[in-house]
Amino acid sequence: MTDFSVPQRMGFGAFVIYFLKFFRLTFNASIIYMAYTLFQSDGDLTKTILKIAAIVGCTTIFALILASLAIFQMKFHVEDGNLIYRHNLISRATTTIPLSRIHTLRTRQGLLYRLFDLRGVLFDTLAAKEEEIELVLSESDWQSLLTRIERQELTQSAVSNMPPAYNPSSFIEFSNKDLVFDALCQNHLKGMVILGGFVSVIFNTLSDFSENSIELIEGYIKSHFDQFALSVTGVALIMACTYIVSLVLWLGKVLLRYYNLSLTYNSKMLTFSHGLFSRLSSRFTRDKICTVWIKLNYFEKRFGLSTIALRQALNSSAKKEDDNLKIYGRDHYDFFLSWWQDYGQEADIATAKSGKGVISRSLLSDVLLSSVAIAVLWHFGLYVWTILPATYLLAGIPKGILTMRHSHITLKESYLIVNNGCFAETKNYLKYDNIEVVRVTRTPLSRFTGRVSLSISTTGTTFTVRSLRQEQAMNIYELLLAKPQK
C-alpha cells in the first residue's frame, strides 16, 4: 500500500495518460501542416511519406517531453490533514488544500483510464477551477488515498469531541428505464443547445472555405431544396426533423452522463457513480450541501417521477454550477431530504405567497419582444406571420399565472422551502445555517401596491420571491435574522 505521508510523483500509468493527451494536442496542431505537405508533394511518394513520418516523430518526441515535465514537476502527499502539492519547475510553488475544505471528491474513468486501471481524481473546493490539480492514480493508490482521507475525517471528528460513530454503508442502484422515462418528461428543446453547438462549428468551418466553394454549396441547396423549404409542408417537416434530432441529442447527453447511476451512502457521506463510457463519481459530505433542489412538472407528477439536484457552494469564479449532480428517475426526494436534514412533517412557522405583480413582471419581456416582432413583420408586409408573436404573447399569460401560483416561501422549525418555477413546480430546501444574506427590496410602486421582494442568498445561489405582502415579508425577514446559527 502506498504511503501518502511521503512526497511522491504519479506513476507510469499517469505518464501514459499525459503522453496521449499531449500527443493529441500536438498532433491536432500539426495535422494542417501534414495535409499541406501531402497536397503540395511533387509526386515523390517516398519523400512525402518520410516527411509525414518525420512530423509524426517530432510530434511524438515533443509529447514525450511535455508528459515527462508534467509528471516530474509535481509531487504530492498528505500531512497534518492537508493535501500538499509541490509543482512548477522554475518557480517552485506549493499548494495546500485542507481536507476539511474539500466539498466534493470527484473521480473519472474514461476508456483509456479503464484500459490502464487508472482514475483521475479531482478535489473540488471553492477555489477557481484553474487552481485545481488533477491526480491520475492507479486503482490501488486511489483506494489507499481514500482510506487515508477517511482516517483523517475520523481523526477530525475525535478532535471536535465527537466520537466517530459506526456508519455502515448502503447501496442504491437507479433504473436506466426510469432515467430515460424522466428524461423524456423534461424540456426536449434542451437538445437544441447541443444542436446549436454543432451548427456553430459548421458555420465556423464554412468561414474557412473560399467564396467559390460557398457559392457552389449555396447553389446546390437552392436547386434541390428551394421549393421544398418555402412550402408549408416543407417548413413543418424541417421543424419536425429538428425536434427529433434535438430529442435524440438530449437523450444521448443524459445517457452518456447518468447511465447506470448508483449511490453508496451512510449517515454522513454520499458517493454517486455514473456514466456510460466515462465513469464518473462524486463523493461529498452532508454538511457541504447548501440546497436540495426538487423539480416536478406535470408529467413527472403524473408518473411518479422527479428531478433532484444536490447543490453546493459555487467556486470563486462561479463556474461550477453545472457540476451539481442531477438525478432523473423515480420519486426519491423523501429519502434525500431525510438523509440531509432529518426531514419530517413540521408545522409552518410563517408562509407568504406572491401576488399578481409576478404575472406583470413575467409578461413584461414577452410584451416587449412580441411588440418588436409584430412591428417588424407589419413593416415588411408579412401580416399573416404576425400570428406567431401574437400567439407567443398569449401563451405568456398562463405562464405568468403558473409562475404566481408556484411562487411562495414557507418557514419550518428546522428548514425553509422556497417554491418557484413556471410550468414546473420547483422546491428549494434550505437549512437556516446556510443562509448568508437576507434582503427586502422595495420599488417605487411598493407604496401603492404594498408588495415587496424578499431575497435569500446562500453560498450556492440566491433565491428571490417577488410581490409579497410587506407585512408578511418583514415578518419572515425578522424570523430569519432571529434564527440561531449552529
Q: Tens digit of pLDDT for each residue in 55-96?
A: 889 989 999 999 998 888 888 888 888 888 887 766 677 888
Closest to 404 (Cα-Cα) out of 460, 469, 359, 471: 359
CA dihedral 225, 226, 229, 234 (to 10 degrees): -60
- Percent of the chain predicted with pLDDT > 70: 79
Consecutive H or E run containing 452: strand 451-458
pLDDT tens track for 358-405: 998 888 888 999 999 999 989 888 888 888 889 989 988 999 999 999
316-374: pLDDT as tens digits: 444 555 556 788 887 788 888 888 876 667 888 999 999 999 998 888 888 999 999 99
The model's confidence at residue 190, banded by pLDDT at 50, 70 and 90, is low
Position 478 pLDDT exceeds 90? yes
More confident residue, 207 or 478: 478
Give kind and range of the element (H or E) at residue 371: helix 357-379
Chain-centre distance for alpha carbon 36: 40
CB 17, CB 86: distance < 8 Å? no
Q: Which residues pair with 280 in a beta bridge?
A: 108, 274
